């Protein structure tokens, strides 16, 4: 969140969509900077897990009309219960998956464990660091099948549905305008099937 254009981009997105709650991940920032972002974007509440070296960093922001109760906040997720006037109480988890593929099973085990911890209607959002199908990737080599299979098995076992993405199909890219341009949908919203 260092360069001013990133904060301006975030402000533009907020102005366009007017969210009451927002999860930002992989911003490589600290609490002090995120407090400035919070005040410049019109949010009142904030929970932040600071970046570890050159990776991670997650923040959940919300407006006053939302009541947030923290369940857990280790280095890769923020798990809360949210209460909005005239709406059912729900559970929301902002999530940042394991970047190292060889340790991706940690992410899947964490998703399984989180799914067992509470029986509230649940939505999990963030950077899962994985795709569900080959169509979630454009360019480059095929995604390893074992990653697809294990992630799909985890989603099924946790009782989650992948929610539809509106807007551009991909959420991460590298090499734009070159022969090696790769685009991938790593960011997702998942919700319990019964919700």
Let me know whether 151 and 84 are in one domain: yes
Confidence (pLDDT) at 70: 97
Return phi, psi of residue 183, to 5°: -125, 140
Confidence (pLDDT) at 118: 86
Confidence (pLDDT) at 154: 96
Confidence (pLDDT) at 39: 82
DSSP helix/strand/coil, 43: coil
DSSP string, 169-189: S-SEEESTTSTT-EEE--EEE
SS (HEC) of 84-127:
CCCCCCEEEEEEECCCCHHHHHHHHHHHHHHHHCCCCCEEEEEE
- pTM (global) more than 0.75: yes
**Domain tally, the chain:** 2
- Return the residue matching tokens 């904060």: 7
Let me know whether 136 and 165 are in one domain: yes
The per-residue pLDDT string of the chain (195 residues; one tens digit each, 9 = 90 and over) reads 456 677 778 778 888 888 899 998 876 667 777 888 888 888 999 999 987 776 778 999 999 999 999 999 998 899 999 998 888 889 999 999 998 899 999 999 999 999 999 889 999 999 999 999 999 999 999 999 999 999 999 999 999 999 998 888 998 899 998 999 999 999 999 999 765
Let me know whether 180 and 85 are in one domain: yes
Contact criterion met (CB below 8 Å) for 69 and 47: no
Let me know whether 47 and 143 are in one domain: no
Provide the CATH number for the domain around residue 23: 3.30.1370
Let me know whether 142 and 180 are in one domain: yes
Let me know whether 139 and 114 are in one domain: yes
Its domain, for residue 60, covers 1-64
């Amino acid at each position: 969140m260092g360069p001013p254009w990133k904060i301006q981009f975030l402000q533009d997105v907020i102005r366009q969509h007017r969210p009451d709650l927002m999860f930002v991940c992989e911003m490589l920032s600290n609490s002090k900077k995120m407090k400035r972002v919070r005040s410049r974007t019109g949010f009142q509440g904030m929970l932040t897990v600071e970046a570890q070296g050159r990776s991670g960093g997650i923040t959940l922001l919300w407006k006053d009309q939302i009541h947030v109760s923290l369940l857990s906040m280790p280095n890769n997720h923020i798990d809360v219960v949210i209460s909005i006037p005239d709406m059912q109480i729900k559970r929301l988890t902002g999530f940042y998956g394991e970047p190292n593929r060889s340790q991706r099973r940690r992410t899947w085990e964490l998703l399984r464990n989180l799914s067992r911890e509470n029986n509230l209607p649940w939505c999990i959002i963030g950077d899962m660091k994985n795709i569900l199908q080959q169509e979630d990737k454009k360019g480059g080599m095929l995604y390893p099948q074992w990653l697809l299979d294990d992630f799909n098995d985890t989603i099924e076992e946790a009782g989650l549905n992948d929610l539809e993405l509106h807007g551009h199909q991909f959420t991460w890219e590298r090499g734009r305008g070159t022969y090696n341009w790769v685009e991938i949908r790593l960011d997702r919203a998942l919700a319990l099937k019964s919700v």
